[in-house]
Structure 1
């Protein structure tokens, strides 16, 4: 989008308007990620596993790559812009605490997308207790809890704006507020970890209901249709609802439908070895993809102008060039993600976890044991 619109243009060009609508709603992917994370961990974690074992496996899976990506961000920002991050921002990232600080220079100032991993660290701390509590609940209680998660995701952000006040003066703004009244409400309703816990908990509840054969939702085609309609309608909601509440139910229905279809041995567009491979490198991809964009986009227009491909550095790129750079970013990030997966994630998982580094399927139940194991392998590797 930023390469397709002239610098300083008030409105995106007609060709770019659709791209603007698509890519500026990427924040809903965070909601999908949180729901899926709760589902995957519940699905693949035995109920009798000690909490320390769960935390060690999560640490082995996440933290080594997280540290490498953080160091890479420090190096790239210095090389590309001679920017040295503050020690406060580096330490906040190192301890995965950036999402607890209502200041965008801490949340987004280093590797912007990693704020969601700060939320995930909080979810991991809560997970063992939540798993025990929810596993012991009756099916009726789980259904009521699912409704409660949806209600809380809608109601709490709406009430927060009327109850909480903004601290003054506001810290420096790093990213656009996209319709929020102030930075505090942006942080509290979108970034603050306890506010996103309902999505993670909903994923856990869905996994337990599917495991008990107590889920009665739509199939994959209808769930995909609901997601498509939800995506269109979500853009008409208030900003605080767009971030999580608007797509909460469609995403929950889709995740449950895909898991149910896999258990039943049905083919879906998201099965097969290629999708498993993409799931395996997905975390590494997420950790590095934004670093490519942030550290190169300001240099692309001058470079293309020097080559004569555009008349001036403030001119928009043609559609074909935008598509080419998009694919280039995608391939470069995927390549680095694969290298990180092979050179950092897998070796560190073996070292920290010990010999039994593979997923443990104990406790996974369902109508088809083989299908259950296939779901567990793919999901746990992708989480």
Structure 2
């Protein structure tokens, strides 16, 4: 079987670590008594940037030439919408973390259609299940993917894109941070789908250069060391700045490490040298990662009113993590998988046999 399109199990395992980083970031953010002890997770939000890059890589790696865009779109709907709609409905009953996450009927059409991230200064961005803003970005990536992919067919074009996109994102980040208000920069460089498309495009580019024969000369361990070093570097930079590194700049600083670890782990899978990340337990947790990402904030919202109870904070934080992981497993096995399978099958029955997508 050609390398392009082969299953890469270690990437599934990596998804768990990215979702777990986001979970711990929110725990650090909202369980204020533990903020100091969880300071290491202060930049855990960068796990979303990793997901955007990984999404571009995996979709490109597994895409089959000749597949119809209609089938691709239907499979993407089957993949993300059922669990998104369920967790959004459950969020109605969860206490809000902030006023922005309070129940708001006017946001229903935007949240349901995953268009909430397109509205500047909108109260809809955090409505219902706040983390779903990133799915609004993903939905846009899916929409443009069949158009983008053919335009990155030539290796010379891909190489230019891999250089130009990070530079453009950096210039936009520095420029808008200087000339815009903090709120405007946070939106334009944080949740705006058009800006975050750059990370998705980098994932596409990485899959393309590997399909054209590029082989990373570094191991997963070396890539992990780079990620660890750059992540710790964020704390050093925040000390120099005397304030936290802006979200968009933190994401950009870690992009090279995210690309490196995806490339190295993919090559390890292809060469049959995958070790820890190939373990059945981590792969299973990786399969639960989408559900973990969507459910953890709801668990946190139920627990937060008791976060300051004397002697209970650490136990409650542990319970939040454990409950989130357990619920993610249940949601994956009994909601996410069956719903996706049913929707794909129903789509096949209406349109006839189609090439399958991941």
Shorter-chain TM-score category? 0.7 to 0.9
CA, structure 1 residues 84+294, in 2 after alignment: closer, same or farther (shift >3 Å)? closer
Aligned to 1:354: 345
* Count of matched residue pairs: 315
Task: Check conservation: 2:303, 2:316, Cα contact below 8 A.
Answer: no
CA positional deviation for 1:104 = 5.3
> Which of 317, 320, 328 is the equivalent residue of 1:326?
317
* Offset, 1:102: 2.0
Q: Is structure 2 residue 127 aligned with structure 1 residue 109?
A: yes
1:244 is paired with a residue whose SS is helix
Give the secondary-structure state (helix, strand or coil) at the position aligned to 1:17. coil
Q: Is the 8 A contact 1:99 1:115 kept in 2?
A: yes
- Partners of 1:17 and 1:104 lie apart in 2 by 31
Partner secondary structure for residue 25 of structure 1: coil
In structure 2, the residue matched to 1:156 is: 172
Give the 3 Å change call, closer, same or farther, for CA 260–322 of structure 1 in structure 2: farther
Is the aligned partner of 1:254 residue 2:261? yes
Distance (whole Å) between structure 2 residues aligned to residue 268 and residue 144 of structure 1: 33
Change (3 A) 1:251 1:259: same
- CA shift for structure 1 position 291: 0.8
Q: Report the counterpart of residue 19 of structure 1 in structure 2.
A: 38
1:199 corresponding residue in structure 2? 199
Q: How far is the alpha carbon of 1:146 from its aligned partner? A: 0.7
Residues 184 and 217 of structure 1: is their aligned pair in 2 closer, same or farther, counting only changes over 3 Å? farther
CA–CA separation in structure 1 for the residues paired with 2:187 and 2:275: 37
Deviations 1:263-320 (A, max 9, x none): 010023211211221121111111110111122211343xx4xxxxx2xxxxxx5xxx
The whole-number CA distance in structure 1 between the counterparts of 2:346 and 2:188 is: 41
Which deviations, in whole Å up to 9, do the C-alpha atoms of 1:328-368 show, x marking residues without a partner?
A: 112211222222222221222122111899xxxx89xxxxx
Distance 2:32 2:102 in 1: 29
Q: 1:90 to 1:144 in 2, by over 3 A?
A: same
Distance 2:269 2:88 in 1: 36
Does the CA-based 8 Å contact 1:28-1:242 persist in structure 2? no
Give how far 1:91 is off: 2.2
SS of 1:75's partner is coil
Q: What corresponds to 1:178 in structure 2?
A: none
Q: Distance in 1 between matches of 2:290 and 2:42?
A: 21
What are the Cα deviations for residues 223-259 of structure 1, in whole angstroms up to 9, with x where unaligned?
1111011101234165154342111111101110000
> Hey, what's the Cα distance between the residues in 2 that align with 1:109 and 1:54?
28
- Tell me how far apart the structure 2 counterparts of residues 243 and 331 of structure 1 sit (CA, whole Å): 28
Q: For residues 285 and 218 of structure 1, what CA distance do their matches in structure 2 show?
A: 30
TM-superposed CA distance for 1:217, in Å, is 4.4
In structure 2, the CA distance between the partners of 1:279 and 1:95, relative to structure 1 (3 Å rule), is: same
Q: Give the structure-2-normalised TM-score.
A: 0.81
Higher share of residues assigned helix? 2
| C-alpha distance in structure 1 between counterparts of 2:211 and 2:86, whole Å | 36
Unaligned runs of 5+ in 1: 6-11, 166-180, 305-309, 311-316, 364-375
How far residue 323 of structure 1 moved from its aligned partner, in angstroms, is 4.2
SS in 2 for 1:125: helix
Q: Does residue 345 in structure 1 map to residue 336 in structure 2?
A: yes
The CA deviation at 1:326 is 2.9
Give the alignment partner of residue 286 of structure 2, picking from 255, 279, 297. Answer: 279
Q: What is the aligned partner in structure 2 of residue 307 from structure 1?
A: none
What's 2:218 paired with? 218
Alpha-carbon spacing, 1:3–1:66, altered in 2? closer, same or farther (3 Å): closer
Distance 1:350 1:274 in 2: 23
Deviation at 1:92, TM superposition (A): 1.6
Of 71, 86, 89, which aligns to 2:104? Answer: 86
User: Is 1:217–1:253's contact at 8 Å kept on the other side of the alignment?
Assistant: no
Higher CA-based Rg: 1
CA contact (8 A) 1:60 1:353 kept: yes
Q: How does 1:39-118 map to 2 (within 5 A)?
A: 39-77=57-95, 85-103=103-121, 105-118=123-136
For the 8 Å contact 1:258–1:268, the answer to whether it is kept is: no
CA contact (8 A) 1:157 1:240 kept: no
How far apart, in 2, do the equivalents of 1:322 and 1:104 lie? 33
Root-mean-square deviation (Å)? 2.6
